[in-house]
Chains A and B, each alone.
Chain A
């Protein structure tokens, strides 16, 4: 160890791996439905895509976690984004690619990706 910068570099790298243990400060929560229906519909790659992308962009205060079935199995994989003080956003029929866009547009820039939401995809909706 020759300098503080060298220590800082190790710290930053290691930080990403332990951040997950401080969920108390999480402001935004991304819940991926991981019941049997969700897993069968492909929720695992979606969950992993969220985890990877959130870590890659170093989004402090965002917690990616899994949840059970919320009862709309035909729309799985379902992802909910909950930010205190805002209406809950429910994305349906998610894929890993869509997940990347949600991270970029919604989590980073604050714009809900309307076309992926349940409102836009509900049966009968145009």
Chain B
């Protein structure tokens, strides 16, 4: 029995900032102090507060250390683990009340408004040990479904819970299962879509890294409900930690007989295999994903027939997103009424968001549906960094749109987001401040969709390319007002004529920025000016003569020699030579360099 547990985040974020070395160093120091039989070091999944990584939590005290480096480890071991003195300087400052008192993590602003269902085990258990998952009631839902419920009862529970697909479209999960169950076939499949591809979204990765068994358990439940004996997880090869933990989890579940033949002596057989995707965005679309699992080129096909009738290998298939699955064991255990009591009437439950962009607490948050954008950005996210103002938030990645500051009090759920011209998407939430140019943002997402269009149908393949060309023209100051109108028309054309979700939603970033920030487009075109100062072609650097002290620092640092002037006299930038790198602005100690 260990008297102390040291939990170190092993998610991708913290791993990239040396959490592996921290774990090695911890084990080494603990052994050196002779504490290896008393202190257990556990590598967990993501805690969510990625901005403060690498994160370490020491129990039973619950001390939350942030931004730990391998060099801090000897002090933590000799002071805290050996002598019981918490290393205050490394604590997450918000948990420190005074010198001798700390408050629990759940009382901090970042966690207080969160409600963790899909992420309940992330940062709590060791994802590579099935026993720790079982200790948190893991596989009890599968046991309950197989021994006490009929497949129809499972489907009824899912229907009653009102759970909607967390991949973004929000289709009721129970309905999907009902359709697949109703189609008789010799073989059916229950698959998991882990092809998370939106720029800035990483919640599925974190669930798989922190709690892989919850997805396996839910897939087995789905298999039982629809009559499938085989499942596939389609995951991108760029998620090596998630893939490795899934492989370990599948093997451990097989060893315990929680996957395989005759699970819980119920006569139900189910097994899961992993299929690695090569990173094509379009393979997150369900028909393209299944085509890819079949070993063919990942391109979407026409629906109907829907996968519930003819899916993988032409057989009835259920395909759900990772986060959707992670909710299911809790729904089976606690019941549909419990789930419905959380969130809003039409969107029950919680949603995980990956907070990114111009925000203090970058990371992963899970909130009940109906939480306002303001609560997520200001309370949980800590707001935009000091000195800047909130301009807009982008949800839904390249398929979604912008929510302007005027709508910050919108309660977030599927229907509200669609009503204001954005969408839930998988849950990326990118915060933007006044220095972000909305035309530039639209261009960024269009560059992504142009790259990722599979090329099967013309509106998407050619249309997005033309859209990008117009956007490029506008950001360079060469656009006309007719271009804006023509672009808008093209957007609707692409939406209406594309085969799959990629093309149907690709113009959304343009349409929603046009809806809320049309003035910025017009300023680019008519005044040849970028209001945010982000579009290089439209920005000129200029030295204000009255502020310039003639220190020559800018001139010495200019890489192209565009700045001239004598010592102690005002300098001048030659806009012909200037490459707009911004070094002069960065170096100037008197704020004399301005963008115009």
Q: Which A residues are closer than 8 A to B by beta carbons?
A: 1-4, 7, 10-11, 13-18, 20-21, 23-24, 26, 32-36, 39, 44, 47-48, 51-52, 55-56, 63-68
**Measured between alpha carbons, how far is A39 from B135 in the docked complex, in Å?**
33
Q: Are B5 and A21 in contact (CB under 8 A)?
A: yes
Query: What are 30 A-B contacts with C-beta separation under 8 Å?
Result: A1-B256, A1-B257, A1-B264, A2-B265, A7-B140, A7-B143, A10-B134, A10-B256, A11-B135, A11-B137, A14-B131, A14-B134, A17-B2, A17-B135, A18-B132, A18-B135, A20-B2, A20-B3, A20-B4, A21-B7, A24-B104, A32-B84, A34-B82, A34-B84, A47-B38, A48-B38, A56-B1, A65-B61, A66-B3, A68-B84
Supposing A35-B83, A66-B84 touch, asked if A7 and B134 sit within 8 A by C-beta, the answer is yes
Q: Which B residues are closer than 8 A to A by beta carbons?
A: 1-5, 7, 38, 40, 59-62, 82-85, 104, 106, 124-125, 131-132, 134-140, 143-144, 147, 256-258, 263-265
Q: Are A13 and B131 in contact (CB under 8 A)?
A: yes
**Measured between alpha carbons, how far is A32 from B4 in the docked complex, in Å?**
13
Supposing A1-B264, A4-B147, A52-B1 touch, asked if A18 and B125 sit within 8 A by C-beta, the answer is yes
Q: Are B258 and A1 in contact (CB under 8 A)?
A: yes
B interface, by DSSP: helix, strand, loop or mixed? loop
Contacts of B40 in A (CB 8 A): 17
Chain A residue at minimal CB-CB distance from B133:
A14
Supposing A1-B256, A35-B83 touch, asked if A15 and B2 sit within 8 A by C-beta, the answer is no
Chain A residue at minimal CB-CB distance from B81:
A66
Contacts of A4 in B (CB 8 A): 140, 143-144, 147, 264
Contacts of B131 in A (CB 8 A): 10, 13-14, 17
**Measured between alpha carbons, how far is A3 from B142 in the docked complex, in Å?**
11
Supposing A11-B140, A34-B82 touch, asked if A24 and B106 sit within 8 A by C-beta, the answer is yes
Contacts of B135 in A (CB 8 A): 11, 14-15, 17-18
Contacts of B1 in A (CB 8 A): 16-17, 51-52, 55-56
Q: Are B84 and A65 in contact (CB under 8 A)?
A: yes
Shortest beta-carbon distance from B124 to chain A in Å = 6
Chain A residue at minimal CB-CB distance from B106:
A24
Shortest beta-carbon distance from A15 to chain B in Å = 5
Contacts of A32 in B (CB 8 A): 84
Contacts of B263 in A (CB 8 A): 1
**Measured between alpha carbons, how far is A47 from B2 in the docked complex, in Å?**
11
Contacts of A11 in B (CB 8 A): 134-135, 137-138, 140
